[in-house]
Structure 1
Amino acid sequence: MRDLIVTQNVTVDGVIETGDWFGPADGGPEVLDALRDQMLRADAFLTGRVTFEQLRGYWPAQTDDPSGIAAYLNQVQKYVVSSTLHDPAWTPTTILRGLDDVRRLKDTAGGDIVCTGSIDVTHQLIAAGLVDEYRLFVYPTVVGTGRRLFPDDSPHPLTLTGSRSFPSGVVLLTYRGSSSS
């Protein structure tokens, strides 16, 4: 069984919608190194349709990307949870029609499955108890409003398994989720 990892950039007050507070290089080279380590362990990238289309519109055109993110996204097996997408137009990509398909994917052999962005899909994964681990890059800012990682209406017991601070002030917190017990 594969681990499903939710990796999110989040503000101190829990907002995960990106805005003026977040830019890819804001965490510094050490955060990029942590992301590269994650990419080495993950052979599947899970996303929702909106995030997938945003990524597809940007990353394939990046030919001089020293971060390695473009190369990773262009070669990794991508899975898109969508009931409306028919032609992903970015290989290798598989369309998943719902959470049952995600459950079946978790039951296959392979490395980590990483879900980044995709707030709606992330909320569905959390509600279904499918998340094994959370990797939260906490940025030292408070924005006050915006969509949050966890809904207000239900508890989500987590176990802290790691923490790492970076010179930029970003902190990586790693938690095991409810599906990993």
Structure 2
Amino acid sequence: MSSPTAAVHADATRVLAAWKAPDAGQSAIREALLAYLAVRDDACSRSCEAGHLTASALVVDEAGEHALLTLHPRVGRWLQLGGHIEPEDTTLAGAALREATEESGIEGLTISEAPVHLDVHPVTCSLGIPTRHLDVRYLVRAPAGARGVRSDESVDLRWWPLAELPDDVAFGRALLLS
């Protein structure tokens, strides 16, 4: 494999193979992602029209009481931060942390060692064609007093109490309130 995303592809395979899914649904998605990675060398590249891995971050404040969400311009909903894997990314966690830092404007974020949630969803992304995002999601903590700064990739950026997260981010509510 010699693609620009070869390193992150190998990391994704290693991370997902080692990940202990919290339930049967997450285990099924993990197995599907591993199978996809096994047959698609380009599975981590946005140019993979059949679908591609993305890296997301549920950013929480230091106290673990609020999550930072973005009002996504293309999707039109409040979502966790994240996006496409770039050629310079070498790990899934690194891609998620890069995306979180770029989209939040917050320096000093720290990321969980392992993913916390997986999701597969249809989307028309930056390619302008319908595809699927095979989203690997991490928990990220912001330093004390962190204030987000909206990037050009967002209509709005806001801290939400965990008990009030939108349904699209319900995995975070379940994860953090349990």
Same fold, TM-score > 0.5, yes or no = no
Q: Normalising by the residue count of structure 2, what TM-score does the alignment of the two structures yield?
A: 0.30
Question: What TM-score, normalized by structure 1, do the two folds share?
Answer: 0.29
Q: With CA pairs under 8 Å and 6+ residues apart, which has the higher RCO, 1 or 2?
A: 1
